[in-house]
Amino acid sequence: MAVRKFKPVTPGTRHKIAGTFEEVTKSAPEKSLLEPKKSTGGRNSNGKMTVRYRGGGHKQMYRIIDFKRTNDGMPATVKAIEYDPNRSARIALIVYANGEKSYILAPNGLKVGQTIVSGSGVAPEVGNTLPLAEIPLGTVIHAIELYPGQGAAMARSAGTYAQLLAREGKYAIIKLPSGETRMVLTTCRATVGVVSNPDHSLEQHGKAGRRRWLGRRPHNRGVTMNPVDHPMGGGEGRSSGGHPRSRKGLLAKGYKTRNPKKTTSKFIISRKK
């Protein structure tokens, strides 16, 4: 995966940096693995706006991703690497030996025609899914379960990965992409490798219209508002707005919002920096 810069022939291409899609091998998605995706526009079930600055955007169909990988011991062949508008990573279309088709998160380096497999007793190779108890220490992994059988919950974004550091009893110690180190049950599954599309973080939209295509409306800062609309609003001229806060008055920029009484805190060894 690489990125390409554009000649500034228009104002929108002056700062545009986009992906090359060179790893994508199929343009049309698998129809049997699609389902409708309704756009909310930031509204809840009552029609009230609960999230600002959302709306519009291109119509999308949801790709059903297999985050559980429960077809144990059955080899699957990679038929295509595809683009998914719902996530930053690429997805892979795989076909099992019994003919069943499925989408998975594509690891970096996965090729068309490659065979992957999941379950216990599987070799720890790129694309294979197996319990943390059987993955060698120091291995780079992604798509990690938090609870056995739940399905992948951690390290799913483009270019992300976690590292298996150690095992203590029934727990494995994992360093997550955020820098957090936490314990996860060794019966939880993970996939070997790094998530595809690692250069996603280098992309730049180049123009506001490209944000609109993604369903993002214009965002105005709190300091530009009036005091009735935001705690940081008001003042003569360009006022700083005081200490950074959210619209509801909660402190931003470093204020810890995690519940100190959360029961899963005992599994966190060190918090993210």
User: 78 is written with which tokens?
Assistant: 């990679």
Contact 25, 91 (CB under 8 A): no
High-pLDDT (> 70) share of the chain, %: 100
| Residue 112 reports pLDDT greater than 70 | yes
- Number of Cβ within 10 Å of residue 27's Cβ equals 9
User: Would you state the pLDDT for residue 2?
Assistant: 86
Q: Which domains does the chain have, with CATH numbers?
A: 3-201 (2.40.50.140)
| Residue 53 reports pLDDT greater than 70 | yes
Give 198's contacts (C-beta < 8 A, 6+ positions apart).
1, 108, 158, 159
Give 163's contacts (C-beta < 8 A, 6+ positions apart).
138, 139, 140, 141, 174, 175
200-227: pLDDT as tens digits: 999 999 999 999 999 999 999 999 999 9
